[in-house]
């Protein structure tokens, strides 16, 4: 039977109703004042719970410490990390609803919106028979990515403080902004965090344990056209929009996100704007394999060069910026951290689901900054939209796994001694 934890769902319910959307266009840190408001409230709550050394870093991260309950100084210091911002789907006015003892078969009306969660469309619902589900009302996202992780970490801290008989080493907590816009962990203060290794609690369904991510880059194609009256355009007009279409069509059609899965990477056109005179295309580039990732970037450059050669002058400018790298390239040498999480899951009766992330986490950047940081499940399904939901029981199991990681690390060291 799943263990319950006081305050977990109340916290989650309260957190998701606070709008903490990040803003890619902002240059501030955090990128939005509403994230800072949430972090301020969270800092006060952490103090009430009983954590110590609570401080906000220049990069916006909120750090807090929990002292060990074992005297052995060789027990590892374990970091636990979640992010407070939500994605770019509507996050204002979140009104969660609770569906108790879901039967695993019925459709779930999302408030009065007219939208429903239907197992025929979302087969994942079928595995939640008997669970209490928290959904949206159809008007907003839910924010389980990553308010579920935030609630689980704060509840874990409160539970450990209320149960000092649980043996564990030092625990370091971190709550970060701007993960959804890809820059939250750019300047994560590893030395100040003072952990031997860490886990982000930012994954999806039960059992997810991820130590490989995409390599990622953003690309912008800027096209300067030559616009004249279409009636006299022959031999003179260079339609920037048409050049953009030609550029996109030169990319492999079988390397788009809608037709790829598993370890296959992609080029994803996320925006195309402009006129015949000037246009821009914005892409994200993804691949788990570093060599294939570099080849994808080179392919875009080659297409730009070829189109420029075909035109009367260089009209295409390509700008590519790397965003993060596959943390598996580093974590392959730190499999003991992955193994520890696997053991805690198995001990809790959970089958680990180890697959490469078709995305990234703050752990990608933090791992490359020198702190090994795999990703653990937090429970969310259908994240980043109106069909998002999370199971109360899975959130509880996430807390149980975190306790298991801490106690197993402490008991391992006791055996070693």
Determine how β-strand 97-99 pairs with β-strand 133-135: antiparallel
Determine how β-strand 375-377 pairs with β-strand 197-203: parallel
DSSP output for 34-60: HHHHHHHHHHHHHHHHT-EEEEE-TTS
Secondary element (H or E) of residue 410: helix 392-416
Strand, coil or helix: 200: strand
- Burial class of residue 159 (count of CB atoms within 10 Å of its CB; 0-12, 13-18, 19+): buried
85 a catalytic residue: yes
Sign of CA dihedral 287, 255, 306, 321: negative
Catalytically annotated residue among 19, 146, 179, 210 = 179
Q: CB count, 10 Å around CB of 312?
A: 9
Catalytically annotated residue among 19, 23, 65, 85 = 85
The upper half-sphere exposure of residue 231, i.e. CA atoms within 13 Å in the direction of its Cβ, equals: 0
C-alpha dist (Å) from residue 100 to 108, 130, 320: 11, 8, 48
To 5 degrees, how large is the angle CA 409–CA 415–CA 417? Answer: 105
336 a catalytic residue: no
State how far the Cα of 417 lies from the Cα of 414, in Å rounded to an integer.
Answer: 5
Catalytic residues: 85, 179
């Amino acid at each position: 039977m799943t263990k319950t934890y006081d305050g977990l769902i109340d916290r989650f319910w309260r957190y998701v109703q606070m709008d903490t959307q990040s803003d890619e266009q902002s240059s501030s840190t955090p990128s939005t004042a509403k994230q800072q408001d949430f972090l301020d409230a969270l800092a006060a709550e952490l103090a009430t719970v009983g954590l110590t050394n609570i401080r906000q870093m220049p990069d916006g991260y909120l750090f807090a410490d929990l002292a060990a309950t074992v005297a052995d100084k060789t027990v590892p210091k374990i970091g636990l990390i979640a992010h407070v911002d939500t994605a770019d789907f509507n996050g204002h006015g979140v009104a969660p609803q609770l569906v108790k003892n879901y039967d695993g078969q019925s459709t779930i009306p999302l408030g009065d919106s007219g939208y429903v969660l239907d197992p025929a469309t979302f087969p994942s619902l079928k595995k939640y028979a008997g669970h209490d589900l928290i959904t949206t009302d159809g008007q907003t996202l839910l924010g389980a990515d990553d308010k579920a992780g935030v609630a689980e970490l704060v509840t874990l801290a409160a539970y450990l403080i209320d149960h000092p008989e649980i043996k564990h080493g030092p625990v370091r907590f971190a709550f970060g902004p701007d993960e959804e816009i890809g820059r939250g962990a750019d300047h994560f203060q590893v030395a100040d965090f003072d952990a031997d290794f860490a886990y982000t609690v930012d994954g999806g369904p039960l059992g997810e344990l991820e130590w490989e991510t995409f390599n990622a880059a953003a690309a912008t194609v800027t096209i300067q056209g030559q616009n004249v009256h279409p009636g006299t355009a022959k031999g003179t007009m260079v339609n920037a929009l048409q050049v953009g279409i030609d550029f996109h069509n030169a990319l492999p059609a079988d390397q788009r996100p809608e037709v790829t899965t598993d370890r296959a990477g992609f080029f994803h056109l996320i925006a195309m704007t402009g006129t015949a005179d000037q246009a821009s295309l914005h892409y994200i580039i993804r691949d788990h394999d570093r060599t294939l990732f570099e080849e994808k970037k080179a392919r875009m450059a080659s297409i730009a060069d070829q189109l420029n050669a075909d035109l009367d002058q260089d009209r295409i400018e390509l700008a590519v910026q790397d965003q993060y790298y596959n943390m598996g390239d580093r974590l392959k040498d730190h499999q003991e951290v992955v193994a520890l999480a696997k053991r805690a899951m198995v001990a809790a009766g959970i089958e680990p689901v180890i697959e490469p992330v078709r995305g990234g986490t703050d752990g990608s950047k933090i791992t490359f900054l020198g702190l090994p940081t795999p990703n653990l499940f937090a429970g969310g399904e259908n994240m980043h939209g109106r069909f998002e939901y999370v199971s109360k029981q899975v959130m509880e199991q996430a807390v149980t796994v975190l306790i298991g990681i801490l106690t197993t690390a402490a008991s391992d060291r006791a055996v070693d001694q």
